Amino acid sequence: MCLTVVFLFFLFCFEICIAKIDGGSRTEAEEKVYSWLYALAQTQRDMAFEYVRSTERGLSFNEAERRLRENGPNVPLEYTFPRWWHFLWTASFHPFNMILIFFSALSYITSDSPNGCIMLILVLISVCLRFYMEYSSSKAAMKLSEFVKSPVKVQRCAGRVIQTELIVQVDQRDIVPGDIIIFEPGDLFPGDVRLLSSKHLVVSQSSLTGESWTAEKSADIREDQSTPLLELKNICFMGTNVVSGSGTGLVVSTGSKTYMSTMFSNIGKQKPPDGFEKGIRRISLVLICVMLIVATIITLIAYFTSHQASDSIIFGISVACALTPQMFPLIVNTSLAKGALAMARDRCVVKSLTAIRDMGSMDILCIDKTGTLTMDRAILVNHLDSWGIPKEKVLHFAFLNSYYKTDQKYPLDDAILAYVYTNGYKFQASKWKKIHEIPFDFIRRKVSVIMETESNKEDKKSFQFHGRFMVTKGALEEVIKVCSFVEHIDTGSLITLSSEEQLRILNLGEQVSNEGLRCIGVAIKRLQTKNINQSMDSEETVESDMVFLGLITFYDPPKDSAKQALWRLAEKGVTAKVLTGDSLSLAIKICQEVGIRTTHVTTGPDLELLDQDSFHETVKKTTVMARLTPTQKLRVVQSLQIVGRHVVGFLGDGINDTLALDAANVGISVDSGASVAKDFADIILLEKDLNVLVAGVEQGRLTFGNTMKYIKMSVVANIGVVLSLLVATIFLGNEPLSPKQLLVQNFLYSVGQIAIPWDKMEEDYVKTPQIWSEKGLPMFILWNSPVCTLCDLSALLFLWYYYTESLDFFRSAWFVEGLLMQTLIIHLIRTEKIPFVQEVASWPVLCSTVVISAIGIAIPFTAIGDFMGFTSLPLTYFGFLVLLFLGYFTVGQVVKRIYILVYKKWL
């Protein structure tokens, strides 16, 4: 059944922010819910109808419709998926997009239409690419998280004179307070419910507690104020589901007035600011300031030398455009889209493209245990007698019990049968005949099967193969309660099960549990034929004076791939922390199997006792945290982010993981997870395999690295070129390049950068998490921009002293030198090593460099060059350029080595 109610509830959390990590006292809304539920839990069953103004027959259809209009649909908050225009808006309003649109408008105003058109085309390509990728990913995710209507059986009454009780199917959205619901195994409670009747009712509350254990519920109980809210046995909560049993209940709260809607009312989506986006905004502001200053100075200089206002303004705008990393949105979105396609090949749905980049920065991965590290299934490990010695007879009778029970089959039964069949045991179940069954329920916590085998001469001497027996298996402590005898370890004879023997067996069970195994007890009782002919009304009488045989132990094994994947993540600087609602001993066992350190472990209840500082310190050093509630998982994630300054990923697939998924920098779920978990995740895995995450981390770091290459290279080159233009304008007393020539140079340079997303990264770079440094980029610019300016000024001086031809010749030479310098700088910036010698770029980047350089060199010799005002250049000038760029790379490499010595990193 689809968890529609829970899915919609968590959207309520999306809208609310918290003021501090540690929460605080309950809100007024929470207090109202607590008081209301405790009042109903303490009252008699019949009086509960008075509280909600209902009757034992249920509500009439007219009254239910009136209450639905009054209270609204039974959802905490109506949810709609983001519309197409939301993605378009996000893709469009990027800082650099806005700068390009602004200068495009200025270009049109000053009649520089080609420049304005080119900038608009760049913006359009960038916006369309990001919009297409994110909208397509969103639609794919919507298909995964699509939910159907969830019908609920409701008792309503109809008739004007004589009212008739009817059982009808009503969608959970139309449930109102006062409705009487009928529920069976698998049903979801559509609201907070006061039980009216129950039969062996067991409910899973993992959506509230995160624990895999179940809770017993009963209608025939009146609670008191001292009972913890989630332990109230006559109250069932919205979003929890029926595991076994059946019953009826009175809906007392729906929608936003339920416990589940208010338990997290002080929590919500509070992801820390994205360091990358924050840094980009700051760089944008810096570039705008530099742009305004330099463009104004150059415009004034051009005006005072030429006295042409319009031409001077156009040239100033062209210089400002040259300072803008025009391809930034396109390069970033192309890199992210390329990463999304690569992850799609690894069977991942990427809902948020920026999550790929965050994967590259992630240094802590929080994971739930079940189904992520383990195979999420039970495997039989051993069959032990009461002394902890393996004994086949224990397995034999446990097998017969599982083979003949028919009421409900559980995973443990399947594990017992599979173990017997696959290990070649021949227990000959066909020789037995089932007589009766006392079914399992979560109050007795055991199941008994009575069977017999025909007497024969060979088996009469053997106790276990002759006559009629009752075989019981279930929770160890419950099985021991009905046992009076146990076999002696040496003689095999029956001895009385004393209190000392009971304690010894319970200690054995605890020892098994501490090893991370689950155990159940097995007992038998030989019956006389006449005992079975009597009524089976008294289960306590029949299930008594039994012989305790031993224990069956089970294990949820770790995945074969988990240990290797965690080791690969650790190699790449990603620390794994386990956050689970299961028991600590089981979590420790699994973590030891997969290689996660367990020297520092804790539990949710222990964390609750800590003050704020101790909490943060414990979270920092602890690797395994068990018995955590959804709120505690959220607090752990936020503590790591805000206090620890880590980039945190969270992998979870349950409803109880949703708050942590929402808060994490990278929320990761699986397509088999709960709908709400998938909706709040940034990445959805189509396979539960941690190796996919390793590939995602590598792809994220490749995306981050190529993005940083472009940012650093383009900003360094652009600032260096603009400073050169400023000096050249002052030195020449004229524009070193016309606006048209500067536009073409900038356009060719920008086109050549499109290949950067297809570049490779050095192995050392992808081995460590990559995080945006606020001080890194400014210092990088200060160190490297002067190298570009030095190269341009060297060309300026050479042209001034050795070529004194016309201004057209100077502009032609300056155009070629500037374009080659901006094209080749990517090879200097992209690696710590010596370019073309120790490290060579990928073939797309090499091809791009060759093609753009060839076009730039060829233009002055073509008709296009004549149209642009260029003249042909002598071969001696190209000889000078070879020497110039050898010097440029030499100086640049020296500056690079000094920079690395000072700051210990390059990109």
- Catalytic residue flag (residue 311): no
What does the block give as tokens for 880? 């000078």
Three-state SS for 191? Answer: coil
Domain ranges of the chain: 329-347+704-903, 348-375+559-686, 379-455+465-530+539-555
- Asked whether the beta carbons of 468 and 532 are under 8 A apart, the reply is yes
Catalytic residue among 179, 358, 363, 368: 368
What does the block give as tokens for 306? 């030429």
Look up the CATH superfamily of 329-347+704-903.
Calcium-transporting ATPase, transmembrane domain (1.20.1110.10)
- Asked whether the beta carbons of 450 and 435 are under 8 A apart, the reply is yes
Domain 379-455+465-530+539-555 in the same topology as domain 329-347+704-903: no
Three-state SS for 582? Answer: coil
pLDDT in tens, 671-702: 766 666 776 788 888 777 778 888 888 888 88
Residue type, 430: S
CATH number of 348-375+559-686: 3.40.50.1000
- Asked whether the beta carbons of 598 and 634 are under 8 A apart, the reply is no
CATH architecture of 379-455+465-530+539-555: 3-Layer(aba) Sandwich (3.40)
Phi-psi region of 58 (alpha: psi -120 to 50; beta: other; left: phi over 0): left
- Per DSSP, helices labelled H in 429-559 are 476-481, 499-514, 529-533, 539-542
What does the block give as tokens for 1? 């059944």
pLDDT in tens, 245-304: 789 999 999 987 888 776 555 444 445 556 677 777 777 777 777 777 777 777 787 777
Residues ≥6 apart with Cβ < 8 Å to 199: 245, 246, 247
- DSSP calls for 785-824: HHHHHHHHHHHHHHHHHH----HHHHHHHHHHHHHHHHHH
- Asked whether the beta carbons of 641 and 629 are under 8 A apart, the reply is no
What does the block give as tokens for 501? 């023997």
DSSP 8-class letter at 643: I
CA-nearest of 268, 258, 186 to 5 is: 258
Segment holding 395, helix H or strand E: helix 392-404
pLDDT-flagged residues of the chain (< 50): 1-25, 78-79, 141, 144-148, 266-270, 459-464, 532-537
Sequence length of the chain is 907
Distance between CA atoms of residues 651 and 661, nearest Å = 7
Q: How do the residues of the chain divide into helix, strand and coil, expressed in percent and rounded to 5?
A: 55, 15, 30
- Asked whether the beta carbons of 615 and 623 are under 8 A apart, the reply is no
CA-nearest of 790, 788, 861, 798 to 829 is: 788
- Asked whether the beta carbons of 781 and 283 are under 8 A apart, the reply is no
Say what the pLDDT of residue 485 is: 93
- Per DSSP, helices labelled H in 665-806 are 675-680, 690-732, 739-752, 776-802
Dihedral of CA atoms 811, 816, 821, 824 in degrees, nearest 10, equals 170
Return the number of other C-beta atoms located less than 10 Å from residue 1's C-beta.
14
Distance between CA atoms of residues 627 and 624, nearest Å = 10
Three-state SS for 715? Answer: helix
Report CA torsion sign: 199, 200, 206, 208. positive
Return the number of other C-beta atoms located less than 10 Å from residue 687's C-beta.
13
Say what the pLDDT of residue 112 is: 64
Distance between CA atoms of residues 393 and 379, nearest Å = 19
Phi-psi region of 516 (alpha: psi -120 to 50; beta: other; left: phi over 0): left
* Sheet with 666-670, edge to edge strand ranges: 348-350, 683-685, 666-670, 648-651, 364-367, 575-579, 624-626, 601-603
At which residue do the structure tokens 């076994």 appear? 244
Backbone angles phi, psi at 506, to 5 degrees: -65, -35
What does the block give as tokens for 592? 């030891």
DSSP 8-class letter at 769: -
- Per DSSP, helices labelled H in 75-193 are 84-92, 95-109, 113-144
Distance between CA atoms of residues 847 and 851, nearest Å = 6
CA-nearest of 708, 822, 716 to 778 is: 716
CA-nearest of 100, 110, 57, 682 to 353 is: 682
Return the number of other C-beta atoms located less than 10 Å from residue 293's C-beta.
11
Angle subtended at Cα 121 by Cα 117 and Cα 127, rounded to the nearest 5 degrees: 145
Say what the pLDDT of residue 135 is: 67
Distance between CA atoms of residues 370 and 582, nearest Å = 8
Query: What is the pTM (predicted TM-score) of this model?
Result: 0.66
Say what the pLDDT of residue 268 is: 45
Say what the pLDDT of residue 655 is: 65
Three-state SS for 223? Answer: coil
Say what the pLDDT of residue 161 is: 61
Backbone angles phi, psi at 381, to 5 degrees: -100, -50
